[in-house]
């Protein structure tokens, strides 16, 4: 069967699920939030990576219902954890340009927040630089409407795209995620180290919260603390976890 047919069926037959990767405060090492990451678990048990199906979902437009499903389920889960007494934190969700460009995007997020009862401030939308520069005016208006509701915006994979620094202010971004490629070689490649230091200094003067992604080693972590990185996400602390495992982690930390 063609993969798009299979993917549509996956959505209908509830083969999609969310994993959650903890984000921690670099200094206190306390949990501050999670990023929702979609997974496709086929009936055969095989797990398909989003890297393999998100591009197809974007091409076919299936990203619109899938993206809506992601936001709804992430907000539901966040509210459930909140109700169970997990201390205030945020749920970060990836959104692609094709989703935002859909005419009902803002309404659909508002509806989900109302339906789930999650405070808008606890939802963070991760966009990429590519999203910011496509249909700039329309995208900007939609994101500002969401900001007005209290939803917060994070710039994902920062440093890999082509947007100017001006976009960070224009889009009223609050969180900046340094792309994994820079973190990966931060201890081995002086150029990467310089880039990360420059991003951290720039973010500090713009009063942005910086999240380093893909932190895998003690060395990378030390470097990031030393240069004032706010939050850490990566295998060094936690891999993406199932909702069940995430719940266990919250219980352990309580
Ligand atoms: O979790 P993993 O490393 O396999 O994710 C691979 C890619 O898929 C990343 O670029 C990530 O941003 C993207 N991704 C994961 N979940 C979602 C989602 O719910 N929506 C969108 N648009 N992208 C996602
Ligand atoms: O593009 P985005 O940043 O949304 O994608 C995050 C992806 O990075 C997810 O697929 C997640 O599984 C992956 N990831 C998270 N932490 C690490 C890490 O420490 N090392 C590596 N190699 N990948 C990671
Ligand atoms: Mn992301
Ligand atoms: Na990223």
Tell me the domain boundaries of the chain.
Answer: 3-253
Ligand 1 pocket check for 62: Cβ under 6 Å: no
Integer Cα distance of 204 and 195 in angstroms: 14
Distances in Å between the alpha carbon of 230 and those of 4, 90, 117, 118? 39, 15, 28, 24
Ligand 2 pocket check for 234: Cβ under 6 Å: yes
How high is the pLDDT of residue 54?
96
For the question of whether the overall pTM of this predicted structure is more than 0.80, the answer is yes
Ligand 2 pocket check for 235: Cβ under 6 Å: yes
Scan for tokens 């224009």, then name that residue: 170
> Which residue's CA is the nearest one to ligand 2's atom 8?
214
Ligand 2 pocket check for 22: Cβ under 6 Å: no
CA-wise closest residue to 88 among 32, 21, 27: 32
Report ipTM (2 d.p.).
0.96
Q: Domain 3-253: give its CATH code.
A: 3.20.20.450
Ligand 2 pocket check for 94: Cβ under 6 Å: yes
Integer Cα distance of 154 and 201 in angstroms: 17
Ligand 2 pocket check for 174: Cβ under 6 Å: no
Give me 206's structure tokens: 């713009």
Q: What are the pLDDT digits (tens) for 79-129?
A: 999 999 998 789 999 999 999 999 999 999 999 999 999 999 999 999 998
Strands (E) in the chain, as ranges, are 16-25, 31-41, 47-48, 90-94, 123-128, 152-158, 175-178, 209-212, 231-232, 241-242
How high is the pLDDT of residue 89?
87
Q: Which of 217, 238, 240, 242 to mutate to test the pocket of ligand 2 (most atoms within 8 A of CB)?
A: 240
Intervals of the chain under pLDDT 70: none
> Which residue's CA is the nearest one to ligand 1's atom 23?
94
**Nearest ligand atom owner, CA of 21:** 2
Integer Cα distance of 14 and 11 in angstroms: 5
């Amino acid at each position: 069967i063609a993969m798009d047919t299979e993917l549509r069926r996956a959505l209908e037959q509830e083969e999609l699920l969310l994993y959650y990767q903890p984000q921690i405060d670099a200094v206190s090492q306390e949990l501050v939030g999670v990023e929702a990451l979609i997974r496709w678990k086929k009936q055969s048990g095989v797990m398909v990576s989003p890297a393999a199906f998100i591009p197809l979902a974007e091409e076919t437009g299936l990203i619109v219902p899938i993206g809506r499903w992601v936001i709804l389920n992430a907000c539901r889960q966040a509210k459930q954890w909140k109700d169970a007494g997990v201390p205030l934190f945020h749920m970060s969700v990836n959104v692609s340009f094709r989703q935002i460009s859909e005419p009902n995007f803002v309404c659909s997020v508002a509806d989900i927040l109302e339906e789930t009862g999650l405070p808008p401030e606890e939802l963070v939308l991760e966009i990429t630089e590519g999203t910011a520069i496509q249909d700039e005016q329309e995208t900007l208006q939609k994101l500002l409407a969401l900001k007005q509701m209290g939803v917060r915006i994070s710039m994902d994979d920062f440093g890999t795209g082509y947007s100017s620094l001006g976009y960070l202010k224009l889009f009223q971004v609050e969180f900046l995620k340094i792309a994994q490629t820079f973190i990966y070689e931060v201890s081995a490649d002086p150029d990467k180290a310089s880039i990360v230091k420059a991003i951290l200094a720039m973010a500090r003067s713009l009063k942005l919260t910086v999240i380093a992604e893909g932190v895998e080693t003690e060395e990378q972590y030390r470097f990031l603390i030393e240069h004032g990185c706010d939050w850490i996400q990566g295998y060094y602390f936690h891999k993406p976890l199932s909702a069940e495992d995430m719940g266990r982690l919250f219980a352990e930390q309580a």
